Amino acid sequence: MPELPDVETFRRYYESTALHKRIKRVETLHKKILKGVSPEDFAQTLEGRTSNSTMRHGKNLLVQMDKGPWLRFHFGMTGSLQFLKKDEEGIPLHTRVIFEHSDGSRLAFLCIRMLGRTGLVEDPESFAKSAGLGPDAMEISLKEFRAMLSSRTGAIKSVLMDQGVIAGLGNVYSDEVLFHAGFHPRRKISQFSTEDLSHLYRVMHRVMEMAIKKKAEPEKMPSNWLLPHRKEGVECPDGKGKIKRLRFGSRSAYYCNECQKE
């Protein structure tokens, strides 16, 4: 799940559950989930801290504490957060880190496939820079968007998914954006006019907004979206074309052979 809309949903979930709670104890159940910090240092740094605010950059959730470094989550392909109220016992399956609060509630960071990471970062700006992230897909201006894309060559699908160009789109939502914009995933950046890029920008914004509004739940997406039909051979929601699959390295791009001509 975790692309921009999913991570934004986790951010809001964190705000409505764990924000302003004091962390009493941090337990790391699988130390490989920690990036750049030992379980001991991670716990020692966070224990006694109270979360103040949150922000998101691309697929990263960042939590500001009352002092010290920020807490960062990246969800990989199968990560999620689950809040446990005071009297809830046990921990969910695939819990990798558990944050216990002073009021007895807990926040579990789950990750089935262990592709996600959590850790500490100085602040959002220095983190984005050191991670080589481009501007966030919801924050980037039209002008900046055109400039970032124009600086690249190659297929639009790969460029949209490149976190160093724009941060937030992954395999599913890059397909969704290209579907609504009517562009073939293999189309080269050099083939895009200024108007094409503006169109793409507006569609991207609209798709992200709607996906966030639907809390990134695939079953709640509009029926004319690609997401519910993202399977080879099925009918395109517009009824004219068929959904095709293309290989991009090890990933699959799904698109409509009628709505998205090369």
Partner DNA sequence: ACGGATGTTATTAA
Partner DNA sequence: ATTAATAACATCCG
Residue closer to DNA, measured from CB, 51 or 171:
171
Sheet holding 106-111, edge to edge: 23-28, 95-101, 106-111, 79-84
Interface with DNA, residue 154, by CB under 7 A? yes
Q: Give the one residue of 20, 31, 32, 220 binding DNA; rule: CB under 7 A.
A: 32
Grouping H, G, I as helix, E, B as strand and the rest as coil, residue 242 is: strand
How many chain residues touch DNA (CB under 7 A)?
36
C-beta of 58 vs 135, nearer to DNA: 58
Residue number, 23 or 165, with CB nearest to DNA: 165
| CA distance between the termini of the chain | 28
Sign of CA dihedral 213, 214, 218, 221: negative
The Cα–Cα gap between 172 and 1 comes to 9
The yes or no reply on residue 155 touching DNA (CB under 7 A) is: yes
Q: Smallest distance, Å, CB 165 to DNA?
A: 9
Would you say 50 or 78 has its CB closer to DNA?
78
Q: Does 8 bind DNA (CB under 7 A)?
A: no
Q: Is 24 in the site for DNA (CB under 7 A)?
A: no
d(CA 199, CA 193): 10
Is residue 91 near DNA by the rule CB under 7 A? no
Report the distance separating Cα 17 and Cα 66, nearest Å.
17
22 near DNA, rule: CB under 7 A? no
Of 35-74, binders to DNA (CB under 7 A) are 58-59, 74
Rounded-to-integer distance, Cα 11 and Cα 105, Å: 18
Beta strands in the chain (DSSP E): 23-28, 51-57, 60-65, 70-74, 79-84, 95-101, 106-111, 117-121, 243-248, 251-256
Q: Of 12 and 25, which CB lies nearer to DNA in the complex structure?
A: 12
The reply on whether position 118 binds DNA by CB under 7 A is no
One symbol per residue from 92 to 111: x for binding DNA (CB under 7 A), - otherwise; what is it?
A: -xx-----------------
Name residues whose C-beta falls within 8 Å of residue 64's C-beta, 6 or more positions apart in sequence: 51, 52, 53, 54, 55, 70
Binding residues (CB under 7 A) for DNA: these are 1-3, 6, 32, 58-59, 74, 76-78, 93-94, 112-115, 131, 152-155, 158-159, 161, 163, 170-172, 245, 247-252
